[in-house]
Amino acid sequence: MKFNQSNIKKAKKYLDKNNCIAVPTETVYGLAANAYSNIAVKKIFKLKKRPKNNPLIVHYSNIDDLKKDCLINDNFIKLHKKFSPGPLTYVLKLKKNSKISKYVTNNQKNLAARFPNHRVFRNLLQKLDYPLAAPSANISTKLSSVQALDVKEEFGSKIKYILDGGKCNIGLESTIINLTSKPTILRLGGLNIEKIEKILNKKITININPKKIITSGQSRLHYSPGIPLKINVTKPKKEDAFLLIKKRRITLSNYYYLSKKNDLNEVAKNLYSYLRKIKKKGYKSIAVEKIPNKGMGKAINDRLNRASKY
Protein backbone atom coordinates (compact mmCIF):
# COMPACT_ATOMS: atom_id res chain seq x y z
CA MET A 1 0.00 0.00 0.00
CA LYS A 2 1.39 3.38 -1.00
CA PHE A 3 2.12 5.66 1.90
CA ASN A 4 0.29 8.91 1.50
CA GLN A 5 1.02 11.84 3.83
CA SER A 6 -1.86 13.93 2.54
CA ASN A 7 -4.31 11.22 3.60
CA ILE A 8 -2.75 11.15 7.05
CA LYS A 9 -3.13 14.92 7.29
CA LYS A 10 -6.76 14.62 6.29
CA ALA A 11 -7.34 11.93 8.91
CA LYS A 12 -5.74 14.12 11.58
CA LYS A 13 -7.96 17.02 10.63
CA TYR A 14 -11.12 14.97 11.14
CA LEU A 15 -9.85 13.55 14.44
CA ASP A 16 -8.79 16.96 15.77
CA LYS A 17 -12.38 18.09 15.21
CA ASN A 18 -13.68 15.21 17.34
CA ASN A 19 -14.95 13.14 14.44
CA CYS A 20 -14.57 9.40 14.19
CA ILE A 21 -12.93 7.86 11.15
CA ALA A 22 -11.83 4.38 10.08
CA VAL A 23 -8.17 3.45 10.43
CA PRO A 24 -6.19 0.43 9.21
CA THR A 25 -4.44 -1.85 11.69
CA GLU A 26 -2.59 -5.13 11.23
CA THR A 27 -5.52 -7.03 12.80
CA VAL A 28 -8.77 -5.45 11.56
CA TYR A 29 -9.88 -1.90 10.69
CA GLY A 30 -10.75 0.30 13.64
CA LEU A 31 -13.37 3.02 14.14
CA ALA A 32 -11.19 5.64 15.79
CA ALA A 33 -11.71 8.85 17.77
CA ASN A 34 -9.88 10.96 20.38
CA ALA A 35 -9.88 8.86 23.56
CA TYR A 36 -9.63 12.02 25.70
CA SER A 37 -12.82 13.56 24.30
CA ASN A 38 -16.29 12.64 25.56
CA ILE A 39 -17.90 14.03 22.43
CA ALA A 40 -15.65 12.06 20.10
CA VAL A 41 -15.96 8.78 22.01
CA LYS A 42 -19.74 9.02 22.19
CA LYS A 43 -19.80 9.20 18.39
CA ILE A 44 -18.09 5.80 18.17
CA PHE A 45 -20.80 4.14 20.28
CA LYS A 46 -23.54 5.74 18.25
CA LEU A 47 -22.13 4.87 14.85
CA LYS A 48 -21.36 1.28 15.82
CA LYS A 49 -24.66 0.81 17.71
CA ARG A 50 -22.52 -0.46 20.55
CA PRO A 51 -23.94 -0.93 24.06
CA LYS A 52 -22.56 1.75 26.39
CA ASN A 53 -21.31 -0.81 28.88
CA ASN A 54 -18.91 -2.40 26.40
CA PRO A 55 -15.54 -0.66 26.83
CA LEU A 56 -13.17 0.32 24.00
CA ILE A 57 -9.51 -0.44 23.30
CA VAL A 58 -7.22 2.60 23.28
CA HIS A 59 -4.34 2.72 20.79
CA TYR A 60 -0.97 4.27 21.64
CA SER A 61 2.16 4.83 19.61
CA ASN A 62 4.58 4.49 22.54
CA ILE A 63 4.95 3.45 26.15
CA ASP A 64 5.56 6.98 27.51
CA ASP A 65 2.15 8.09 26.31
CA LEU A 66 0.52 5.00 27.80
CA LYS A 67 2.19 5.73 31.15
CA LYS A 68 0.31 9.01 31.36
CA ASP A 69 -2.94 7.04 31.59
CA CYS A 70 -2.11 3.59 33.01
CA LEU A 71 -0.10 1.91 35.73
CA ILE A 72 2.29 -0.63 34.30
CA ASN A 73 3.86 -3.72 35.89
CA ASP A 74 6.60 -6.32 35.25
CA ASN A 75 4.42 -8.64 33.18
CA PHE A 76 3.48 -5.72 30.99
CA ILE A 77 7.10 -4.70 30.49
CA LYS A 78 8.13 -8.24 29.50
CA LEU A 79 5.27 -8.68 27.05
CA HIS A 80 5.51 -5.20 25.62
CA LYS A 81 9.20 -5.63 24.90
CA LYS A 82 8.55 -8.82 22.96
CA PHE A 83 5.19 -8.25 21.27
CA SER A 84 4.48 -4.56 20.83
CA PRO A 85 3.79 -3.05 18.46
CA GLY A 86 1.58 -5.99 17.52
CA PRO A 87 -1.70 -7.88 18.00
CA LEU A 88 -1.73 -7.94 21.81
CA THR A 89 -4.04 -5.82 23.99
CA TYR A 90 -3.18 -5.26 27.65
CA VAL A 91 -5.79 -4.58 30.32
CA LEU A 92 -4.14 -2.31 32.91
CA LYS A 93 -5.20 -0.16 35.86
CA LEU A 94 -6.14 3.39 34.94
CA LYS A 95 -4.30 6.18 36.74
CA LYS A 96 -6.42 8.49 38.87
CA ASN A 97 -5.34 11.53 36.85
CA SER A 98 -5.71 9.87 33.45
CA LYS A 99 -7.42 11.97 30.77
CA ILE A 100 -9.21 9.00 29.20
CA SER A 101 -12.90 9.78 28.65
CA LYS A 102 -15.12 7.94 31.13
CA TYR A 103 -17.17 6.70 28.17
CA VAL A 104 -14.21 4.63 26.92
CA THR A 105 -14.25 2.35 29.97
CA ASN A 106 -17.88 2.83 31.03
CA ASN A 107 -16.55 4.42 34.22
CA GLN A 108 -14.50 1.36 35.11
CA LYS A 109 -11.00 1.58 36.52
CA ASN A 110 -9.25 -0.65 33.96
CA LEU A 111 -8.18 0.26 30.45
CA ALA A 112 -7.52 -2.02 27.47
CA ALA A 113 -4.53 -0.62 25.57
CA ARG A 114 -2.73 -1.68 22.43
CA PHE A 115 0.20 -0.60 20.26
CA PRO A 116 -0.86 -1.32 16.69
CA ASN A 117 1.68 -2.45 14.13
CA HIS A 118 0.62 -0.80 10.90
CA ARG A 119 2.81 1.82 9.22
CA VAL A 120 -0.03 4.11 8.23
CA PHE A 121 -1.78 3.97 11.61
CA ARG A 122 1.46 4.41 13.55
CA ASN A 123 2.40 7.38 11.47
CA LEU A 124 -0.99 8.94 12.22
CA LEU A 125 -0.74 8.22 15.97
CA GLN A 126 2.67 9.89 16.12
CA LYS A 127 1.17 13.09 14.79
CA LEU A 128 -1.62 13.31 17.39
CA ASP A 129 -1.44 14.64 20.92
CA TYR A 130 -4.00 12.14 22.19
CA PRO A 131 -4.41 8.34 21.92
CA LEU A 132 -7.20 6.82 19.81
CA ALA A 133 -10.08 4.76 21.13
CA ALA A 134 -10.97 2.29 18.41
CA PRO A 135 -13.25 -0.73 18.38
CA SER A 136 -13.39 -2.86 15.25
CA ALA A 137 -15.01 -0.99 12.36
CA ASN A 138 -18.27 -2.88 12.06
CA ILE A 139 -21.82 -2.63 13.33
CA SER A 140 -22.05 -4.35 16.74
CA THR A 141 -22.20 -8.20 16.55
CA LYS A 142 -21.36 -8.23 12.83
CA LEU A 143 -18.18 -9.24 11.00
CA SER A 144 -15.09 -7.08 11.44
CA SER A 145 -13.70 -5.22 8.45
CA VAL A 146 -10.36 -6.18 6.94
CA GLN A 147 -10.25 -3.67 4.09
CA ALA A 148 -11.53 -0.18 3.33
CA LEU A 149 -14.35 -1.54 1.19
CA ASP A 150 -15.75 -3.59 4.09
CA VAL A 151 -15.89 -0.46 6.24
CA LYS A 152 -17.76 1.37 3.48
CA GLU A 153 -20.20 -1.53 3.31
CA GLU A 154 -20.79 -1.44 7.08
CA PHE A 155 -21.30 2.30 7.51
CA GLY A 156 -22.03 3.74 4.06
CA SER A 157 -22.10 7.53 4.05
CA LYS A 158 -22.34 7.69 7.85
CA ILE A 159 -18.59 7.46 8.15
CA LYS A 160 -16.75 10.71 7.47
CA TYR A 161 -13.43 9.29 6.34
CA ILE A 162 -11.68 5.96 5.79
CA LEU A 163 -7.91 5.99 5.97
CA ASP A 164 -7.04 3.26 3.48
CA GLY A 165 -4.10 1.08 4.51
CA GLY A 166 -4.74 -1.92 2.29
CA LYS A 167 -5.81 -5.34 3.45
CA CYS A 168 -5.09 -6.25 7.08
CA ASN A 169 -2.19 -8.64 7.42
CA ILE A 170 -3.50 -10.72 10.30
CA GLY A 171 -7.24 -10.55 9.72
CA LEU A 172 -8.37 -11.45 13.27
CA GLU A 173 -8.67 -9.10 16.25
CA SER A 174 -5.90 -8.80 18.85
CA THR A 175 -5.42 -11.21 21.73
CA ILE A 176 -6.52 -9.58 25.02
CA ILE A 177 -4.69 -10.25 28.27
CA ASN A 178 -5.73 -8.91 31.66
CA LEU A 179 -2.63 -7.88 33.62
CA THR A 180 -4.33 -6.17 36.56
CA SER A 181 -4.00 -9.36 38.61
CA LYS A 182 -2.96 -12.90 37.71
CA PRO A 183 -2.49 -12.76 33.90
CA THR A 184 -5.66 -14.02 32.19
CA ILE A 185 -6.56 -14.26 28.51
CA LEU A 186 -9.90 -12.55 27.84
CA ARG A 187 -9.95 -13.00 24.08
CA LEU A 188 -8.04 -15.32 21.75
CA GLY A 189 -6.68 -13.46 18.76
CA GLY A 190 -3.81 -12.55 16.49
CA LEU A 191 -1.06 -13.48 18.95
CA ASN A 192 -0.80 -17.17 19.91
CA ILE A 193 -1.02 -17.71 23.64
CA GLU A 194 1.81 -20.26 23.56
CA LYS A 195 4.10 -17.36 22.70
CA ILE A 196 2.84 -15.37 25.67
CA GLU A 197 3.28 -18.34 28.00
CA LYS A 198 6.86 -18.72 26.84
CA ILE A 199 7.70 -15.13 27.74
CA LEU A 200 5.91 -15.17 31.11
CA ASN A 201 7.28 -18.65 31.69
CA LYS A 202 4.02 -20.14 32.92
CA LYS A 203 0.64 -21.49 31.87
CA ILE A 204 -1.90 -18.71 31.59
CA THR A 205 -5.53 -18.93 32.62
CA ILE A 206 -7.98 -18.55 29.79
CA ASN A 207 -11.31 -16.97 30.58
CA ILE A 208 -12.99 -16.40 27.24
CA ASN A 209 -16.48 -17.66 28.11
CA PRO A 210 -17.19 -16.35 31.59
CA LYS A 211 -20.62 -16.44 33.22
CA LYS A 212 -20.41 -12.72 33.67
CA ILE A 213 -19.46 -11.23 30.34
CA ILE A 214 -16.69 -8.66 30.58
CA THR A 215 -15.66 -8.50 26.95
CA SER A 216 -18.19 -8.33 24.12
CA GLY A 217 -16.11 -10.73 22.04
CA GLN A 218 -17.01 -13.23 24.76
CA SER A 219 -20.70 -12.93 24.10
CA ARG A 220 -22.47 -15.72 22.29
CA LEU A 221 -23.73 -13.75 19.33
CA HIS A 222 -20.73 -12.19 17.68
CA TYR A 223 -18.76 -12.14 14.44
CA SER A 224 -21.97 -12.96 12.65
CA PRO A 225 -21.90 -13.27 8.85
CA GLY A 226 -25.70 -12.85 8.83
CA ILE A 227 -26.45 -16.36 7.50
CA PRO A 228 -26.20 -19.74 9.27
CA LEU A 229 -22.70 -21.19 9.55
CA LYS A 230 -21.79 -24.79 10.37
CA ILE A 231 -18.39 -25.94 11.58
CA ASN A 232 -16.43 -29.23 11.36
CA VAL A 233 -18.27 -30.18 8.17
CA THR A 234 -17.12 -33.14 6.08
CA LYS A 235 -20.03 -33.33 3.65
CA PRO A 236 -21.65 -30.00 2.83
CA LYS A 237 -25.22 -29.68 1.64
CA LYS A 238 -25.82 -28.74 -1.98
CA GLU A 239 -26.84 -25.21 -1.10
CA ASP A 240 -23.90 -24.51 1.24
CA ALA A 241 -20.85 -22.50 0.37
CA PHE A 242 -18.05 -24.81 1.52
CA LEU A 243 -14.89 -23.29 2.99
CA LEU A 244 -11.75 -25.40 2.82
CA ILE A 245 -8.23 -25.04 4.13
CA LYS A 246 -6.37 -27.57 2.04
CA LYS A 247 -6.40 -28.51 -1.62
CA ARG A 248 -8.68 -31.40 -2.66
CA ARG A 249 -8.42 -33.67 -5.64
CA ILE A 250 -12.13 -33.94 -6.21
CA THR A 251 -13.82 -30.90 -7.59
CA LEU A 252 -16.79 -29.80 -5.60
CA SER A 253 -19.11 -27.06 -6.63
CA ASN A 254 -19.54 -24.05 -4.40
CA TYR A 255 -16.21 -24.45 -2.62
CA TYR A 256 -13.75 -21.77 -1.59
CA TYR A 257 -10.20 -22.09 -0.34
CA LEU A 258 -9.26 -20.08 2.75
CA SER A 259 -5.85 -21.66 2.16
CA LYS A 260 -4.70 -24.38 -0.20
CA LYS A 261 -1.87 -25.56 2.02
CA ASN A 262 -3.34 -25.74 5.49
CA ASP A 263 -1.64 -22.45 6.42
CA LEU A 264 -3.62 -21.21 9.42
CA ASN A 265 -2.23 -17.68 9.22
CA GLU A 266 -3.51 -17.50 5.67
CA VAL A 267 -6.87 -18.89 6.81
CA ALA A 268 -7.11 -16.16 9.46
CA LYS A 269 -6.24 -13.47 6.96
CA ASN A 270 -8.92 -14.62 4.51
CA LEU A 271 -11.66 -15.64 6.92
CA TYR A 272 -13.73 -12.46 7.33
CA SER A 273 -13.44 -11.37 3.71
CA TYR A 274 -14.58 -14.79 2.46
CA LEU A 275 -17.53 -14.80 4.85
CA ARG A 276 -18.52 -11.40 3.50
CA LYS A 277 -18.01 -12.46 -0.09
CA ILE A 278 -20.14 -15.57 0.32
CA LYS A 279 -22.99 -13.66 1.90
CA LYS A 280 -22.86 -11.17 -0.97
CA LYS A 281 -22.97 -13.95 -3.56
CA GLY A 282 -26.39 -14.83 -2.17
CA TYR A 283 -25.66 -18.15 -0.46
CA LYS A 284 -28.10 -19.03 2.30
CA SER A 285 -25.64 -21.02 4.44
CA ILE A 286 -21.95 -21.61 5.02
CA ALA A 287 -20.14 -24.85 5.89
CA VAL A 288 -16.54 -24.85 7.10
CA GLU A 289 -14.27 -27.88 7.22
CA LYS A 290 -12.60 -28.81 10.49
CA ILE A 291 -9.76 -26.50 11.47
CA PRO A 292 -6.92 -27.87 13.61
CA ASN A 293 -7.16 -26.43 17.10
CA LYS A 294 -3.55 -25.32 17.40
CA GLY A 295 -1.68 -22.05 17.02
CA MET A 296 -3.80 -19.54 15.11
CA GLY A 297 -6.40 -22.32 14.70
CA LYS A 298 -7.58 -21.69 18.26
CA ALA A 299 -8.54 -18.10 17.55
CA ILE A 300 -10.10 -19.05 14.21
CA ASN A 301 -12.20 -21.75 15.89
CA ASP A 302 -13.23 -19.29 18.60
CA ARG A 303 -14.64 -16.90 15.98
CA LEU A 304 -16.28 -19.67 13.94
CA ASN A 305 -17.88 -21.10 17.06
CA ARG A 306 -19.43 -17.77 17.92
CA ALA A 307 -20.43 -17.10 14.32
CA SER A 308 -22.14 -20.51 14.25
CA LYS A 309 -24.47 -19.49 17.09
CA TYR A 310 -26.35 -17.17 14.74
Phi, psi for 256 (deg, rounded to 5): -140, 135
Among 89, 98, 136, 218, binds Mg ion (CB under 5 A): 136
Residue 215's binding partner among Mg ion, ligand TXA, none (Cβ under 5 to 8 angstroms by kind) is ligand TXA
CB contact burial 54-68 (16+ within 10 A = b; e otherwise): bbbbbbbbebebbee
| Candidate list 8, 72, 149, 214; residue touching ligand TXA; CB under 6 A | 214
H helices present in the chain, as ranges:
5-16, 38-48, 63-69, 74-83, 102-105, 119-126, 148-155, 193-200, 264-280, 296-307
Q: Which is nearer to Mg ion, 58 or 241 (CB)?
A: 58
Give Cα 5 distance to the centre of its chain.
25
Q: Is 111 in the site for ligand TXA (CB under 6 A)?
A: yes
**Those residues with Cβ within 8 angstroms of residue 290's Cβ, 6 or more apart along the chain or in another chain:** 231, 232, 233, 234
Instruction: Determine which residue in the list 98, 215, 259, 273 makes contact with ligand TXA, applying CB under 6 A.
Output: 215
Site string for ligand TXA, 169-208 (x = CB under 6 A): ----xx-x---------x----------------------
Which of ligand TXA, Mg ion, none does 110 bind, CB closer than 5 to 8 A by kind?
A: ligand TXA
Identify which of residues 100 and 267 has a Cβ nearer to ligand TXA in the complex. Answer: 100
Does 57 bind ligand TXA (CB under 6 A)? Our answer is yes
| β-strand partners of 114 | 59, 89
Instruction: Enumerate binding residues for Mg ion (CB under 5 A).
Output: 136
